[in-house]
Amino acid sequence: MLNELTKGIFRENPLLRLLLGTCPSLAVTSSLENGFGMGAATTFVLLCSNAMISLLKGIVPSKVRIPVFIVIIATFVTITDLSMSAYVPDLHKNLGLFIPLIVVNCIILGRAEAFASKNGIVPSLLDGLGMGIGFTMALSLIGSIREILGAGTLMGASLFGPSYQPFLMFVLPAGAFLTLGLTMGVMNWMEKRKA
Partner 1 sequence: MKSAFEIMKIGAFLMAVCALASFGLALTNRATAPLISEQKRIAREMAMKEVLPGAVEFEDIELSDGRLAFNGKNSSGETIGMATIVSPKGYGGVIETMVGMDVDFKVTGIKILNMQETPGLGAKAGDPAFSGQFKGKTGEQLYLSDKDVKKGEIDAITASTITSKAVTDGVREAVEAMKNAE
Strand locations in 68-176 (E): 153-154, 157-158
Question: For partner 1, which residue of 1, 58, 61, 194 counts as binding (CB under 8 A)?
Answer: 61
What is the Cα–Cα distance from 169 to 12, expressed in whole angstroms? 30
CA distances from 183 to 64, 67, 138, 170, 187 (A): 38, 35, 9, 14, 6
Q: How far is the CB of 2 from partner 1 (least distance, A)?
A: 31
Cβ-based neighbour number of residue 8 at 10 Å: 27
Phi-psi region of 112 (alpha: psi -120 to 50; beta: other; left: phi over 0): alpha
- In the complex with partner 1, the residue whose CB is nearer, 2 or 59, is 59
89 sits near partner 1 (criterion: CB under 8 A): yes
Piece of 59-67, 106-114, 123-131, 155-163 that binds partner 1 (CB under 8 A): 59-67
Piece of 32-40, 132-140, 153-161, 164-172 that binds partner 1 (CB under 8 A): 164-172
- In the complex with partner 1, the residue whose CB is nearer, 4 or 147, is 147
Are the C-beta atoms of 99 and 92 separated by less than 8 Å? yes
Contact residues toward partner 1 (CB under 8 A) are: 30, 59-61, 63-64, 67-68, 71-72, 74-75, 78-79, 82-83, 85-87, 89, 93, 150-151, 166, 168, 171-172
